[in-house]
Chain A
Amino acid sequence: MSHFFYSFHFYLFGILALASSIVFVTRKSPVAAALWLVNTMFCLAALYVMLEAHFIGIIQVLVYAGAIMVVFLFVVMLLNLGHPSDLADARGKVPTIVAAGLGLALLALIGVTLRFQMPGTLDTTARAMHAQEAQVGAVGAVAEPLFREYLLAFEVTSLVLLVAMIGAVVLGKRRTA
């Protein structure tokens, strides 16, 4: 029963994510597209939680849906692009054909990949992860590799954020010369 409950919701959120991402790329209005993308991100957050990445699921809602998409909506508001029906979007024939070909090739790749046997969840890994999470909590379990194996990358990340902050301020500033 609980397995049925799990897979029902897994497929539900998966199909919702797929459907709202398709609606997202076909919207003309940037605001509508942004809101559909937020919907996709919420569904992905639910999937992260169902795949036992609880902390990442919360961060997905806070950072992606909460912060990054709000920045996008702010920029749409600042630019004042006019009515969506006036925006001639979607490119000409050649890029569309290239995109369709790429899409078909990648979907064929998915088909080929799914024919291979996926390694089932290694019971020992799952049990070790559960034990670790019970001991140090969901945040502590993610912090473990972050501060040991990937410590250098973690420190470099702070530099990336600093550079991005300075860059955004410099680029956004009006030239007063």
Chain B
Amino acid sequence: MIAEALALSAALFVIGAIGVLTRRNAIIIFMCVELMLNAVNLSFIAFSKLYGFGGQAIVFFVMTVAAAEAAVGLAIIIAIFRHAQTVNLQNINILKG
């Protein structure tokens, strides 16, 4: 079952990466990043079946960082929305030369 779990993890990561590259809504891009983090967690869990509980401890850290990232990132998105009245990333191009 470990090989299947790793394949599923890779497929979920690919789906998340494609979502990040092709979507324009900042919130959906953020959710795609969460999906990628989840995919990596799945492979950590699969490997923890082989190598002991260390992998599960790492998943714990990943979840903590994901929660922190969601809080800060969504606050930034709200700030951007207040500034630009949109979360469409193609309309947010002030840094473009």
Instruction: Name the distance in Å between A85's Cβ and chain B's nearest Cβ.
Output: 13
Interface size class of B (residues with CB under 8 A): 35 or more
Interface size class of A (residues with CB under 8 A): 35 or more
Task: Report the Cα distance A146→B14, complex, angstroms.
Answer: 30
Residues from chain B with a CB closer than 8 A to the CB of A37 are 31, 34-35
Residues from chain A with a CB closer than 8 A to the CB of B6 are 113, 118
Which residues of chain A from 93 to 128 have any CB-CB distance to chain B below 8 Å in the complex?
Answer: 95-96, 98-100, 102-103, 106-107, 109-110, 113-114, 118-119, 121-122, 125-126, 128
Task: Report the Cα distance A133→B72, complex, angstroms.
Answer: 36
B25 and A164 contacting across the interface, CB-CB below 8 Å: no
Which residues of chain A from 36 to 53 have any CB-CB distance to chain B below 8 Å in the complex?
Answer: 37, 40-41, 44, 47-48, 50-53
Task: Report the Cα distance A106→B66, complex, angstroms.
Answer: 23
Q: Footprint of B on A, CB under 8 Å?
A: 6-7, 10-11, 14, 17-18, 21-22, 24-25, 27, 30, 33-34, 37, 40-41, 44, 47-48, 50-53, 55-56, 59-60, 63-64, 67-68, 71-72, 75-76, 78-79, 81, 87-91, 95-96, 98-100, 102-103, 106-107, 109-110, 113-114, 118-119, 121-122, 125-126, 128-129, 132, 141-142, 144-146, 149-150, 153-154, 157, 160-161, 163-165, 167-168, 171-172, 174
Instruction: Name the distance in Å between B54's Cβ and chain A's nearest Cβ.
Output: 5
Instruction: Name the distance in Å between A16's Cβ and chain B's nearest Cβ.
Output: 11
B59 and A56 contacting across the interface, CB-CB below 8 Å: yes
Task: Report the Cα distance A169→B65, complex, angstroms.
Answer: 17
In the complex, how many residue pairs between chain A and chain B have their CB atoms under 8 Å apart?
230
Question: Secondary structure at chain A's binding surface: helix, strand, loop or mixed?
Answer: helix
Task: Report the Cα distance A48→B35, complex, angstroms.
Answer: 15
Across the interface, name the chain B residue whose C-beta is closest to A73: B27
Residues from chain B with a CB closer than 8 A to the CB of A30 are 25, 27-28, 31
Q: A44-B38, A87-B88 are in contact. List 14 more A-B contacts (CB 8 A).
A: A25-B35, A37-B31, A44-B42, A47-B42, A60-B41, A89-B28, A106-B17, A110-B10, A128-B52, A145-B56, A150-B54, A150-B58, A164-B71, A165-B71
